[in-house]
Structure 1
Amino acid sequence: MRWTIPNSLTVLRLLAAPGVAILFLYFHRPWADWLALALFVGAALTDWFDGYLARLWKQESKFGAMMDPIADKAMVVIAIMVITGYNGMNPWLILPATLIIFREVFVGGLREYLGAKSGLLKVTKLAKWKTTAQMIAIAVLFLGTGLDYLNVLALEGMTPEQHQAAVAAGEAEAIRTCGNRDCASYANLVGIWLLWVAAFLTVVTGWEYFVKSLPFLREDK
């Protein structure tokens, strides 16, 4: 392995994956949410840069080809676990998250079984869109968890009606709004919809990968 810039970016993205969860151990919320969002977005951007720079500088390598999907999957799976935990195990969130994690484990098992033959199954454009959709959805959901926590701090144990009265009396801070709704609910709603889109693409690409692998799974007669 050569420590080229593209390979270094891939390794940094892999190390950032557990960092997203570790931030919640050492920082109080909502700082943990904002730092996790920044780390996740920064790491997600390296997913585009490492491939682009590797092609531009002709530094594509077997190490990068192997580590790139591993780093992507580690980021997505760990971030989804953190988000589902801090969103109160919302069933509308758990189902697409389960589909995504199941697909990644299933395809990972297939790749391990196929070994060197898995290199013959090229990554499709739809698979790249799948990864992009996953990362955008997760980033929006991290934004939602941070805003949700700020809403909880603003309420300070009050009911929404009591909070509105306290805001009118100048005794409490108003909850951040985006039009007719609070910003947290918008972010969570958009994030969940995006995660469902990502889950759909994840299932489709997983099925495509399985179909392509069938010729390599046939028993020898």
Structure 2
Amino acid sequence: MSSLPNLLTLSRILAVPLLVLLMWGRSPWEWLAAFILYAVAGLTDYLDGYLARAQGTVSKLGQFLDPIADKIMVAAVIIMLIHSGTIHGLATIAALIILLREIIVSGLREFLASLRVSMPVSQLAKWKTAAQMLALGALVLDGATTRLWPALPALEIGLTCLWIAAALTLITGYDYLRTGLKHMDS
């Protein structure tokens, strides 16, 4: 538990309540702080895996916690963006697609793990994650920019990337489900 990669992963989980609290605020400065925290958490997501592989300290605990930390943060941010009204209307469908895929793929991975079948992350899924992280980051930043820097098109960038992430989510989710169904008995 005390390895640096595991501590970075744990820090992401522990940052979620603060992130939610900041996004609950109405001040653009709170939203700017939320964006900075979100960006730092995204950086730790990259660093924990990189360090674990580079140091040869990949652990079962880290493999277990990392996807959970990612899903907790993504779900919390989406919920708060919907709560704030930043994500609304049809964009809510894109957000729900992302949330539902995360739940389905998590269940599928758990099922396949019981069969000792691994489901590696595809390159397209990595692009999905990048689009999703960019979308959510831009939408969080919009909470600050609408009042501090209104010319910055954070909302437009965020919503565009959200729909791109949702489309990639459908494709990668289908690929994972198709792979998983091959291992299920009728």
Same fold (TM over 0.5): yes
Q: Hey, what does 2:52 align to over in structure 1?
A: 54
Equivalences for 1:1-221 in 2 at 5 Å? 2-25=1-24, 28-87=26-85, 90-117=88-115, 120-148=118-146, 150=147, 176=149, 182-183=151-152, 186-219=153-186
1:37 CA drift (Å): 0.5
Secondary structure at the counterpart of residue 115 of structure 2:
helix
Distance verdict in 2 for CA 1:92–1:118, change over 3 Å: farther
Deviations 1:49-76 (A, max 9, x none): 1111111111111111111111111111
Q: Which amino acid aligns with 1:12?
A: S
- Contact in 2 for aligned 1:24/1:32 (Cα 8 Å): yes
The Cα RMSD (Å) is 1.9
Distance verdict in 2 for CA 1:17–1:119, change over 3 Å: farther
Distance verdict in 2 for CA 1:6–1:188, change over 3 Å: same
Alignment length, in residue pairs? 186
Q: Which amino acid aligns with 1:211?
A: R
1:83 CA drift (Å): 1.1
- Contact in 2 for aligned 1:72/1:131 (Cα 8 Å): no
Distance verdict in 2 for CA 1:205–1:18, change over 3 Å: farther
Distance verdict in 2 for CA 1:127–1:89, change over 3 Å: closer
Structure 2: unaligned runs, 5 residues or longer: none
Q: In 2, distance between residues paired with 1:118 and 1:32?
A: 45
Q: In 1, distance between residues paired with 2:144 and 2:116?
A: 40
Q: Which amino acid aligns with 2:22?
A: L
Q: In 2, distance between residues paired with 1:138 and 1:89?
A: 10
1:116 CA drift (Å): 3.1
Deviations 1:136-168 (A, max 9, x none): 1111111112222x27xxxxxxxxxxxxxxxxx
Percentage identity across paired residues of the two chains: 38
Once structures 1 and 2 are overlaid, which stretch shifts more, 66-75 or 12-21?
12-21
Once structures 1 and 2 are overlaid, which stretch shifts more, 48-57 or 12-21?
12-21
Q: In 2, distance between residues paired with 1:3 and 1:117?
A: 30
Secondary structure at the counterpart of residue 217 of structure 1:
coil
Secondary structure at the counterpart of residue 121 of structure 2:
coil
1:89 CA drift (Å): 5.1
- Contact in 2 for aligned 1:92/1:192 (Cα 8 Å): no
Q: In 1, distance between residues paired with 2:69 and 2:115?
A: 21
Q: Which amino acid aligns with 2:59?
A: S
Runs of 4+ with deviation above 4 angstroms: none
Q: Which amino acid aligns with 1:129?
A: W
Structure 1: unaligned runs, 5 residues or longer: 152-175
